[in-house]
Chains A and B, each alone.
Chain A
C-alpha cells in the first residue's frame, strides 16, 4: 500500500492545515476561518467518498495502511476502517465543519487559535477511530486532550479553569491505566514462544485470548476504566456536566458528539473484541452501569434549570442506552448501539447548537428566562422540536431506530438472560419525554416573559444552513437506517457470533484455562 492512502489523507489533512494556519498573518482572521472550513469540508467529502467505496460485503478492515514506525519495538503506523469505525469517522467529518460554522460569530476572540485547535482535534478523533495499533491509538487518544483543554479553558464560562482541569485529570487518569494495559499486553506477546513485543491490534486480538484469566481481568479493566470515564458511565461521569456547562457551544458539540463515542468505541473495539470471554462474564455489570446511567441521567436532567446542563445530563442517559446495547451482545443490540452513537452525535450535537443559539441571543441558558419562543422564533422552534423528538425517540426519527434495536436486542439477549434490564431501560424513554417536552413547554410555549425575549430574532441563514444537514440526517436515519446499518452489519454479526461462541464454550469449561493451546498464534 502506498502512503499516503486516502485514509491517511483524511486523518492528517486537518492537522497539516492546522500547521499551515499557524503561518497565517494575524490580520487575516477571516481568511483563517474560511481556510479551516474549506479543509474540514474537503475532509467531509473525502470521508463520504470513503463511505461509498467501502465494501460492506467484506468483513475485516479496509483501506488498511501500514508503515513501520519504531521498528525495534514493532510500533507501526497501522490504520484501517471497518463499518463500525467508518460511521464514526463520517460523523466526525460531518460535525467538524458544522462546529466551525457555528462558532463563526460566537467565537470572537483568538479565532485562528480556535480553528487550529478544532483542526488538530479532528485529526486526533479520526485517528482514534482508524488506529489499528495500540500505541498509535493511545497517541491519538491523548492528542485530543490538549486542544479540548484549551477550548474549555480559553473560551469557557466562569468556572472554566476548574472544568478544564477536571476534564483533563479524569481522562488522563483513565488513559494512563490504559497505557499500562497496552504495555503489559505488548510485553505478554513477547513472552509467548517466538513472540515479540507488539502493538498490532489485529495480532493482539489473537494473543489476548491466550492470556491467563487473572492477568486478563486486570488488562480488561485497565482498558474498561479508561473508556467508562470517557463514555462517561455512572459513577465516573462527574466531569461531564462541568465540562459541558463551561465549554463554548462548539466545544460541547464535539465533546458530546464525538469524544463520548470514543469511550463506547473503545469498549467495543478493545473490551469486546480483544477480551470476548471477560466481556461476556462482565456483561451484566455493564448492563447495570448502562441502565443506572439511563435512569440517573434522566432523573437529574429533569430537575435542571439550565438548558445546557439538561442536555448534558440527557447525554449521560443516552450513552447509557449505548452501554446497554453493547452489554446485550446480540446483533440487533450492537447494531442499535452503533447507530445510537451516531444518533446521539447528531441529535445532541444539534441540541447543543440550538441551546448555544439561545445563549448567543440572550446570554443566559436558564430555562426560566425564556418562554413563548414558538411565536417569536418559529423556525427555531420547529428545528428544536424535531431534534427534541429525535432525542426522545419518536418513530420516524433516528433516535427511535437506535433505541428500538437496543431494547429489542437486549430483551432477547442470551447473555443478559433476563428482560429486566430492558424493562428498566424502557422507562428511560418515558423519562426522556418528560424532561425534553417539559423543557420545550417552558421555553417555547406559554407567554413571552419579557420584552427582550420578544425581540429575539429567528435563525439567520448561517444558522439554518448548519442545522439543515443535521435535521436531514435525523430524518434520513429515522426513515431509512439501512444506508448506515448495512455498513456495520457484517461487523456486528461477526462480533456477536464470537461472543456467543465464547460464551457457549465457557459454559462447558472455566474460561481461559485451556484455551492457551488452541489459540496460540
Chain B
C-alpha cells in the first residue's frame, strides 16, 4: 500500500493528466456542447501537472517496480509536452472553432495523447514504452481524422494509421527479440546484458527493430513517408500538436531508449543513427524547396530538423541528450508560433495555406508577418533567435564527440534551407497582396500562443544559459 502511494506521488504529473482526461471525457459525455468547460478543465489540468512536474523534478527515480522513470529527465520531457500541449490548445480553440470541428473531442484526445507521451518517453521498461506508444498513437490517429468530412483529413488518418501500425509492429517485434536475448524488458538490464554479450546478434536485431519504430515516430528518413501527407492533411491544430508534442515524445523515447542506455552498449548505433541524421537533413531540406503549400513545406523541413536532433541523439552523451531537449524546446516554440500564424491564415474549409496566399501579409497584417518571419529565421538558425543556439549547441556536442562530418552536412543543409524559408518572406514582404485575397483574422487565443512563443524564442535566443543548464543538469 505504501509503495503504491509513493509511486503515485512520484508519477503525479502523469496522474494529473490522466485524471483530467477522464474528467473532461465525462463532462463532455454529459453535455455535448460543453467545449468551453472542457477547455478550461484541460488548461487547469495541464497547469496542475506542470506544477507537479516541477515539484518532482529534483527527485529522480523509478515507480511501479521500475516500469516508469520519474523526476529528473522524465520531468524535462513532461514539461516539454505540457508546453507543447498548452500552446496547441490555444491555437486549436480558434482554429477548430473556425472550421466548426469538435473542440471538445480534440481537447480530450490531446490529453490522452499526453498520457501516452509520458510513459513513452520516460519508460524504464520496454513494455511501458510500448504501452505509451500505443496510447499516443491511437489518440493521434483519431486526431488526424478529426475533421471527418474533409477528404484530406481522412486520407491522412488512414495513411498514418496503416504505416503507424506497421511501425508499431516493428517496435513490438524488437521488444520480443530483446526479451529473448536478455530475459527481461527492463531497458537498463537489457543494456547491461547487451554490453556483456559475446554474441549480440539477437540484441542487435532487436535494437534495430526498435530503431525502426522510433525513427518512424520521429519522421526520420527513410521512415518519413507519412510525414508530408499527414502534416498537410490533418487539421492545422492537429499538425501543430504532431510537430511539437509528437516530435518531442518520439525524441524523448529515442533518447531514453538509445542515448541513455542502449547507445552505450554498442558503438554501431552511432553510425546508424548518424546516417539517419544525414539522410533526414539532406532529404528534408531539399524536398522542402519545391513545395507550394506552407504546411507541406514545414512538414518537409521538420524532417530536416529531425535530422539535426538525431545528431545529438547519436552522440549517446549527456550533452547530446540535453542538446536534443533544448532543441525540442526551441522547436516547439518556433513551430507553434509558425503554425499559429498558418492557422490564422486558414479559412473555414482549411484553405489558404498555399505560400501564395501569404502575399503581402507583412503589410496587411504587419504583426503576423513579422512574427512569422521571426519564427522562420529561428528555424533557419539565425541569431539572436533560439533556433540558432539550439543548432549551435547540437553542433558543439557533435564536434566534441568527433563527428565533424555530420556538422558539415548540417551546415550545408542549413544553407539549402535558406532557400525555402526565405521564399515565404519574399512572398510576405517583397510582394503586394493579391486582389481578392482574404485578410486573416487571428483569434485572441491564437495571438496569445503566437506572442508567447515569440517571446520564448527571443528569450531563449538571448539568454539560453539558465534553461540550458537546467536541462543538462537532469540528464
Contact with A along B375-389 (1 / 0, CB 8 A): 001000011100010
Which residues on A are within 8 Å of B, measured CB to CB?
A: 69-73, 75, 110, 135, 138-139, 142-143, 145-146, 149-150, 153-154, 160-161, 164-165, 168-169, 172-173, 176-177, 179-180, 183-184, 186-187, 190, 197
Docked pose: A435 CA to B277 CA in angstroms: 53
Interface residue stretch chosen among B138-146, B422-430, B439-447: B422-430
The answer on a CB contact under 8 Å between B418 and A179 is no
CA distance A143 to B461 in the complex (A): 12
B429 touches A73 (CB 8 A): no
**Known contacts A72-B472, A142-B382, A190-B400; is A183 also within 8 Å of B426 by CB?**
no
Task: Contacts A149-B425, A164-B422 known; list 9 others, CB within 8 Å.
Answer: A71-B469, A110-B363, A150-B429, A164-B426, A168-B418, A176-B415, A179-B411, A184-B399, A184-B404
Q: Is the interface of A mostly helix, strand, loop or mixed?
A: helix
Nearest CB on A from B407, distance (A): 6
Q: Is the CB of B430 within 8 A of A160?
A: yes
- Bound state CA distance, A186 and B469, in angstroms? 19
Quote the shortest CB–CB distance from B204 to chain A (angstroms). 31
Instruction: List B residues at the A interface (Cβ < 8 Å).
Output: 363, 377, 382-384, 388, 392-393, 395-396, 399-400, 404, 407-408, 411-412, 414-415, 418-419, 422, 425-426, 429-430, 463-465, 468-469, 472
Are A183's CB and B384's CB within 8 A? no
> Cβ of B384 and Cβ of A72 under 8 Å apart?
no
Chain B residues with Cβ under 8 A from A138's Cβ? 383
Contacts of B464 on A, CB cut-off 8 Å?
Answer: 70
Q: How far, in Å, is A134 (CB) from chain B's closest CB?
A: 11
Given A176-B411, A179-B392, A184-B404, check contact A154 B429 (CB 8 Å).
yes
- A-B residue pairs in contact (CB < 8 Å), sample of 20: A69-B465, A70-B464, A71-B465, A75-B465, A110-B363, A135-B392, A138-B383, A142-B383, A149-B422, A149-B425, A150-B429, A153-B429, A164-B430, A165-B418, A165-B419, A168-B418, A169-B419, A173-B415, A180-B408, A183-B407
Taken together as a complex, chains A and B put the C-alpha atoms of A271 and B430 apart, in Å, by 37
Minimal beta-carbon separation of B322 from chain A (angstroms): 10
A180 touches B407 (CB 8 A): yes
Whether the pair B404, A72 counts as a contact (CB closer than 8 A) is: no
Question: Contacts A71-B465, A72-B465, A197-B396; is A146 near B382 (CB within 8 Å)?
Answer: yes
Q: Is the CB of B430 within 8 A of A161?
A: yes
Complex partner residue of B392 from A161, A165, A177, A183, CB under 8 angstroms: A183
B400 touching A187 by the CB < 8 A rule? yes
B404 touches A154 (CB 8 A): no
Q: Which B residues touch A73, using CB under 8 A?
A: 393, 396, 465, 468
Interface contact B426-A165, CB-CB below 8 Å: yes
Q: Within the assembled complex, what's the spacing in Å between the Cα atoms of A139 and B400? A: 21
Shortest CB distance A4–B (Å): 15
B465 x A143 contact (CB < 8 A): no
Q: Within the assembled complex, what's the spacing in Å between the Cα atoms of A197 and B10?
A: 37
Nearest CB of B to A327, in Å: 28
CA distance A75 to B384 in the complex (A): 14
Bound together, the chains give a CA A164 to CA B399 distance in angstroms of 32
Q: How far is the CA of A75 from the CA of B389 in the complex (A)?
A: 12
On whether the beta carbons of B414 and A176 are closer than 8 Å, the reply is yes
CA distance A88 to B258 in the complex (A): 51
Chain B residues contacting A169 (CB-CB under 8 Å) are 415, 418-419
Q: Which residues of A contact B412 (CB under 8 A)?
A: 176
B411 near A177 (CB under 8 angstroms)? yes
Q: Which residues of B contact A70 (CB under 8 A)?
A: 464-465, 468
A391 to chain B, nearest CB (A): 32
Whether the Cβ atoms of B415 and A153 lie closer than 8 Å is no
Which chain B residue has the least Cβ–Cβ distance from A156?
Answer: B430
Nearest A residue to B382, CB-CB? A142
Taking the closest CB of chain A, its distance from the CB of B311, in whole angstroms, is: 13
Complex CA–CA separation, A176 to B382 (angstroms): 10
CB distance from A280 to the nearest CB of B (A): 27
By a CB distance below 8 angstroms, the chain A residues around B426 are 153, 161, 164-165
A72 vs B472: C-alpha distance when bound (angstroms): 10
| Centre residue among A139, A183, A190 by max chain B CB count within 10 A | A183
B395 touches A139 (CB 8 A): no
Question: B residues within 8 A CB of A69?
Answer: 463, 465
Chain A residues with CB below 8 A from B388, complex form: 139, 142
A190 proximity list for chain B (CB < 8 A)? 400
For the complex, give the distance between the alpha carbons of A75 and B414 in Å: 23
Is the beta-carbon distance between A153 and B430 smaller than 8 angstroms? Answer: yes
**Min CB distance, B17 to chain A, in Å?**
32
Once the chains are docked, how many angstroms separate the CA of A99 from the CA of B166? 62
Measured CA separation A179–B396 after assembly (Å): 10
Do B465 and A165 touch (CB < 8 A)?
Answer: no
Whole-angstrom CA separation of A172 from B413 in the bound complex? 11
